[in-house]
Amino acid sequence: MGDPIHIEGSAGPGNTNAVVDVWPEKIWPRLQAGPLAAVREELSGWLVAQGYAPSTQYNLARAAVRLGTWMLAKNLRLEDLDQARVLFMVRDDNERNPKHSSANENLSAVLRFLKETGRLRPVRVIHAQPRPAEACLANWLRFLKVEQGQGASWIDKARRVGEPFLELIEEPSGELHWERVNVAMANEFLHRTVSGYSPSTAQCTAALLRCLLTWAAANGRVTDGIAFGVLSPRRIHSGLPKGLSASEVAALKGAVDLASPTGRRDMAVIVMLARLGVRVGEVAGLTLDDVNWRDPSLRVVGKGGRVLILPMPVDVGEALVDYLRVRRAQPGERGVFIRSMPPFRALNRVGVTEIMFKHARMAGLEGVNAHRLRHTAATQILAGGGNLRQVQELLGHASLASSMTYARVDMIPLRPLAPSWGKLP
């Protein structure tokens, strides 16, 4: 790995004035850094400001040297560099030296430095005319977003249904032959698409296919009635929504190491999921501006862009304060929950999901996902004497019908009190 890089002062991302020694003599002078030698001091300061560990800074510096050496061999100046040329170099080097592939991955951080400092020329983008199938798909997705107010998750699922369906009626020229679409063809596509998937996924796919065909009929592309002929996959009624018990929630929290900033972040995420029943995307999308400390509440954006104002329980507020005291983010980042590794940007949905899976495994709660904590929050309301309207308001259901499934959960404790059939006094 080599000698560590010695840094004077704080290495936090907020301290851009940290004094940084030159890279060790064994890195830069021995290897020809070419045009990148002129930016080595600036690069070293940028890596410190981004929060990279000294050993990682060392590896990224070597990646910059590799890039500079290649530029020297190709007689390229710094102003000649663009992302396309770098990608060509990486691909060529990986083919000739497969063992270099892991080292070449470090170039992504170097490219980000060059881009942020205005030294990487943008690749010229040629905007080609979209094919009819691409244009049709884009119009349908735009209809779902603008006219129906659907969220990003639903639109992504619609894309995965609409794209392969349109490919069936697309000619090599890109033209769409809607006259091929009939009930039999639609059901055959549905059967092939949902084969091997769960009943809930099959139902979702069928609903999206009907939506596409209904939209196509409204625009005169297919005849009316084809959408009604799309069959409904067999429903398998799942069990009642099952939340975690108090002991399971305690075990989940107990698996978190509060001695580290990452542990405090994870605890705040878990407490929010368990107490407020928010969705993974709502946690990932939370910003510092959404936290109201004066009137303790949180602003979250739910499905379909619905804005919800949720009360902030004491334990949620304490967990957030405990984390925000050690929160480390790059300048200008307003997301509440930040990645634990550079670049220090807001967590995405996958990152929040991984937090839940990680600590559930550590607590011995295999198969527990973030949505189980949503059920936990709902069942706690009912167990505490709340009603379905309160469940709807907390979970952000657009309709009370979505909350009605918890009514069955609420009746379970009443069953032992009901007399058996035929034994009424």
Q: For residue 376, which phi and psi values (nearest 5 degrees)?
A: -60, -45
Residue 158 near residue 193, CB atoms below 8 Å:
no
197 is catalytic: no
Q: pLDDT tens-digit profile of 394-419? A: 454 444 444 444 444 444 444 444 44
User: CA 381 to CA 302: how far, in whole Å?
Assistant: 20
Catalytic site residue from 397, 408, 415, 423: 397
Catalytic site residue from 406, 408, 415, 423: 406
Q: Given this model, what pLDDT does residue 398 score? A: 47
Q: Given this model, what pLDDT does residue 376 score? A: 66
Residue 331 near residue 51, CB atoms below 8 Å:
no
160 is catalytic: no
Q: Given this model, what pLDDT does residue 356 score? A: 85
SS3 breakdown of the chain: % helix, strand, coil, rounded to 5?
Answer: 55, 5, 40
Q: Which residues of 140-161 are buried (b: 16+ CB within 10 A; e: fewer)?
A: bbebbbeeeebbeebbebbbeb
Give the pair of three-digit tokens for residue 341: 């590794």
Catalytic site residue from 62, 303, 328, 349: 303
0.75 exceeded by pTM: no
CATH number of 132-229, picked from 3.30.70, 1.10.1220, 1.10.150, 1.10.10 = 1.10.150
Measured in whole angstroms, the distance separating CA 150 from the mean position of its chain's CA atoms is: 17
pLDDT tens string, the chain, 425 residues long: the values are: 334 333 333 334 444 444 344 444 444 444 567 788 888 788 888 888 888 877 788 888 888 888 888 888 788 888 888 777 777 777 777 777 766 666 667 778 888 888 888 888 766 555 567 788 888 999 999 999 988 888 888 898 999 999 999 988 888 777 888 999 999 999 999 988 887 777 778 888 999 999 999 999 999 999 888 999 988 876 655 554 466 778 888 888 899 999 999 999 999 999 888 888 788 888 899 999 999 999 999 998 876 677 888 889 899 999 999 999 999 998 899 999 999 888 899 998 888 888 988 888 898 887 677 767 776 656 655 455 554 454 455 454 444 444 444 444 444 444 444 444 444 44
Give the pair of three-digit tokens for residue 66: 């590799």
Q: Is 100 helix (H, G, I), strand (E, B) or coil?
A: helix
Angle at alpha carbon of residue 250, lines to 249 and 252, rounded to 5°: 65
The residue length of the chain stands at 425
Q: Given this model, what pLDDT does residue 324 score? A: 96
Please name the amino acid found at residue 56: T
Q: Is the dihedral of CA 176, 178, 182, 187 positive or negative?
A: positive
Cα dist. 298→261, 314, 319, 328 in Å? 22, 12, 14, 21
Counting Cβ atoms within 10 Å, is residue 1 exposed (0-12), middle (13-18) or buried (19+)? exposed
Q: For residue 103, which phi and psi values (nearest 5 degrees)?
A: -65, -35
The domain segmentation of the chain, as residue ranges, is 7-116, 132-229, 246-414
371 is catalytic: yes
Catalytic site residue from 66, 210, 265, 374: 374
In this structure, which long-range contacts are made by residues 121-124, counting pairs with CB atoms below 8 Å and at least 24 apart in sequence? Answer: 121/79, 121/80, 121/81, 121/82, 121/83, 122/82, 122/83, 123/82, 123/83, 123/84
Catalytic site residue from 279, 339, 372, 375: 279
Q: Where are the beta strands (DSSP E) in 211-367?
A: 291-292, 297-301, 307-311
- 246-414 domain in CATH 3.40.50.10190? no
DSSP state, residue 147: I
345 is catalytic: no
